[in-house]
Structure 1
Amino acid sequence: MNEDLLRDTERFLHEQIPLTRAMGVCVESYDDSQLVLTAPLEPNHNHLGTAFGGSLSALTTLAGYAMLWLQLGDRNAHIVIRESTLRYKRPVQGTLRAVCPRPDVASMTAFRAAFEATGKAHLKLQVQVIHAEQVCMLFEGDFVALR
């Protein structure tokens, strides 16, 4: 994907959500299939030396938020999370890596139509935290875009 778009997205996250700077969040990649955000373990670890659950929660929420922001393409829209579910499966002992699959075409078409018609739409997104080729955390969030 376009390197400028990755840097612009990262800059937007750092400007709008200051916690992302403290966490060291980076936009690693964005393509036809997924968005990947990363953060180093060092500023995001707990007392056991593994990833802090709150950092994992924040990173997965950010991945969904950024995916919807990129997909919507409306820089004046406000995106918020309405509801989320988290399942921690195993500890993360290195870089935090959140992978958000791109929503399917039918879901995005319905989302955009609702947003255009009413100025409000919601979309459920899933995000996985992957470490050492294993799923360590599962996130599902219901995001809302408002005009």
Structure 2
Amino acid sequence: MNMPRQPGVPHPRLPLPEGQPEDLAAFHRWLSEAIPMVKALGISNVTHQGDTLTWQLALAPNLNDKGTGFGGALTAQTTLQGWCWVTLWLRERGIARDVVVAEASQRFLAPVTGDYHLACRPTESEGPAQLANKLAERGKGRIALTQQLYCGETLCLEASSSYAVLPQS
């Protein structure tokens, strides 16, 4: 049985996939243990194709007092998804490093009125190559990501974020 998380105690890293495709279900299980609030976010399906990480999410656990998506929960989801994008990108390359959010902003465009999906991708197509170069040159780097939340065909939220890959400790 897993012990509850304790403040100030890092959660053990998930072993790198070592040349195998990432098991996204195992990653999601690990993430739910590493970051306890993940269990409450309503993430039901995770896919990673090309440079896009997509999540399907249920509205029910993320409701506000008006019966639509709670902005704080949606913001947490976009921030977490960007962190996951960078972490998975590093893991695909056999790199185990700490990732932190450096900047994040959101634009709420329409209310979220039903289950939704969230897609994360690099803001600039050359972003991943630039991050790889910075990691090789300096041992650390940053990447800008964009997250878009759709309820059906309606774009409800667009987030911009920057994540830092910290130097090896």
User: Which category describes the TM-score, using the shorter chain as reference length?
Assistant: 0.7 to 0.9
The one of 32, 57, 65 equivalent to 2:83 is: 65
Structure 2 residue matching 1:111: 3-state secondary structure: helix
Query: Contact 1:51–1:96 (CA<8 Å) still a contact in 2?
Result: no
Q: Superposed, which structure 2 residues align to 1:24-103 within 5 Å?
A: 24-73=42-91, 74=94, 76-101=96-121
Name the % identity: 27
Distance 1:24 1:3, change over 3 A: farther
Structure 2 residue matching 1:112: 3-state secondary structure: helix
26-35 vs 135-144, which deviates more?
26-35
CA RMSD of aligned residues (A): 2.1
> How far does residue 25 in structure 1 lie from its aligned partner after superposition?
2.3
Give ranges in structure 1 of 5+ residues lacking alignment: none
The one of 129, 134, 139 equivalent to 1:119 is: 139
Query: Contact 2:100–2:165 (CA<8 Å) still a contact in 1?
Result: yes
Larger proportion of strand: 1
Give me the whole-angstrom Cα distance separating, in 2, the residues matched to 1:42 and 1:75. 36
List structure 1 runs of 4+ shifted beyond 4 angstroms: 102-105
Give me the whole-angstrom Cα distance separating, in 2, the residues matched to 1:3 and 1:119. 24
The structure showing larger relative contact order (alpha-carbon pairs under 8 Å, at least 6 residues apart) is 1
89-98 vs 2-11, which deviates more?
2-11
> How far does residue 26 in structure 1 lie from its aligned partner after superposition?
3.5
Give ranges in structure 2 of 5+ residues lacking alignment: 1-19
> How far does residue 125 in structure 1 lie from its aligned partner after superposition?
0.1
User: When the two structures are superposed, what TM-score results if normalisation uses the length of structure 1?
Assistant: 0.88
> How far does residue 69 in structure 1 lie from its aligned partner after superposition?
1.0
Is 1:7–2:40 an aligned residue pair? no
Larger proportion of helix: 1
35-44 vs 3-12, which deviates more?
3-12
Q: Superposed, which structure 2 residues align to 1:128-143 within 5 Å?
A: 128-143=148-163
Distance 1:16 1:109, change over 3 A: same
Higher CA-based Rg: 2
Deviations 1:4-51 (A, max 9, x none): 622122123212211111223244311114111233111110001101
